[in-house]
Chain A
């Protein structure tokens, strides 16, 4: 049994339209303060007071078998407090599912709470959101992977934005 990994680049993410309950994180390009040539990367800043979301539509690889886990690499100015993450899946099997794709909904939420990187601001940490509620995801499905920060949740205690720089969907292969 091997592990597959789908890289979900910040630059390839779809952002919601900004209407009520559809708020998006600000995505900015960051330049490292190191001497040139210094690394550049994109980061998505998830607000500390509300729910902001981002998502990736894709076709699931043919070697997908089970056990999807959303891996989220993030940092913050804060060095204490927790961030409450939420991951969801919407999976649609062509030729089998008979409802309109345009009315497709996400599965039940999957959540994890992770503590900010201690002692040093902008220290990278990784959260793993096990997508137990996977909407019967299967190889070849059209899927939408959803990531949100629940900034107003009681378990979310970190001040300021959670800055996501890397995301992947890991899974067990056939």
Chain B
């Protein structure tokens, strides 16, 4: 899986700053954020095959790439306390 291009990286940083302003560490600058987003993207690219291999066969062989990406995003968001389910009340 290829890494994102410069425009996608920049827009990811931009939207992250807009939506997560409440949790961004105040001492970080845009340079710091850009480097972190690029590193996370590189990690996702480097480990895409490993993630795919870890998925059970029915899901791995039938789900789309978008479905697999959203599944991972939901797991990570829940672990970070950022995904609230209806069952949480």
Contacts and interface: CB of A to CB of B under 8 A. Distances in A.
A77 B30 contact: no
Interface string B31-74: 10100000000000000000000000000000000000000000
A162 B78 CA distance: 30
Interface residues of B, number: 16
Contact of A81 (B11, B21, B22, B29): B29
Given A160-B21, A161-B21, A79 B26 contact: yes
Contacts of B5: none
B76 to A, nearest CB: 21
Contacts, number: 49
B26 A80 contact: yes
A114 to B, nearest CB: 14
A81 B25 CA distance: 12
B31 A80 contact: no
A6 interface: no
A52 B58 CA distance: 48
Interface in A50-94: 50, 77-81
A119 B30 CA distance: 17
Interface in A27-53: 47-50
B14 A159 contact: no
Interface in A102-161: 121, 156-161
A79 B26 CA distance: 5
Contacts of B29: 78, 80-81, 157-159
Nearest to A47: B18
Contacts of A79: 26-27
Interface string B9-23: 011011001100110
A160 B27 CA distance: 11
Contacts of B28: 78, 80, 159
Most B C-beta atoms less than 10 A away, residue of A50, A81, A160? A160
Interface of A: 47-50, 77-81, 121, 156-161
Interface of B: 10-11, 13-14, 17-18, 21-22, 24, 26-31, 33
| Across the A-B interface, the 6 shortest Cβ-Cβ residue pairs | A49-B14, A79-B26, A81-B29, A160-B21, A157-B29, A48-B17
